[in-house]
């Protein structure tokens, strides 16, 4: 069982940056592939980024590639999402997720149904 708690959301002006954190409970955090998703009002939950257990492999959605960076610190049981050059279109609730599958493909980790655990989400609002 893994519990995930996101933090770092808030209100930021367009062009600004935020860093989201997701802290996991449990001693096996380093065994999970971690992902970040977001959901805007009236839209489906959207994949943003994923990172392998070691941090050696990362995957990004085209919509955030070059602006967002996913990283992890296994010693702190924490995964991060650095978000730069934010626009109002980035306004959403941001969720982290964990899956025990470590050998999937990029396509696999882009699908939210393949994640076992989810955080409660943190709101990010970007003003114009």
pLDDT digits (tens, 9 = 90+) for 40-80: 999 999 999 999 999 999 999 999 999 999 999 999 999 99
Query: What residue spans of the chain are helical by DSSP H?
Result: 106-109
CA distance 20 to 54: 19
Structure tokens at 90: 């980035």
Mean pLDDT value of segment 83-104: 94
CA distance 24 to 98: 9
In the chain, the percentage of residues whose pLDDT exceeds 70 is: 99
The pLDDT, as a whole number, for residue 12 is 98
The pLDDT, as a whole number, for residue 10 is 97
**Residue 126: in which H helix or E strand, if any?**
strand 122-127
């Amino acid at each position: 069982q893994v519990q995930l708690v996101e933090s770092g959301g808030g209100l930021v002006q367009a062009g600004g940056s935020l860093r989201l954190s997701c802290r996991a409970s449990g001693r096996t955090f380093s065994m999970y592939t971690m992902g970040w998703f977001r959901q805007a009002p009236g839209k489906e939950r959207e994949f943003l980024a994923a990172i392998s257990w070691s941090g050696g492999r990362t995957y990004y959605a085209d919509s955030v590639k070059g602006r967002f960076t996913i990283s992890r610190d296994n010693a702190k049981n924490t995964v991060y999402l650095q978000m730069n050059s934010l626009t109002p279109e980035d306004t959403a609730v941001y969720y982290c997720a964990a899956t025990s599958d470590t050998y999937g493909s990029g396509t696999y980790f882009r699908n939210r149904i393949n994640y076992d655990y989810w955080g409660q989400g943190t709101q990010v609002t970007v003003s114009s």
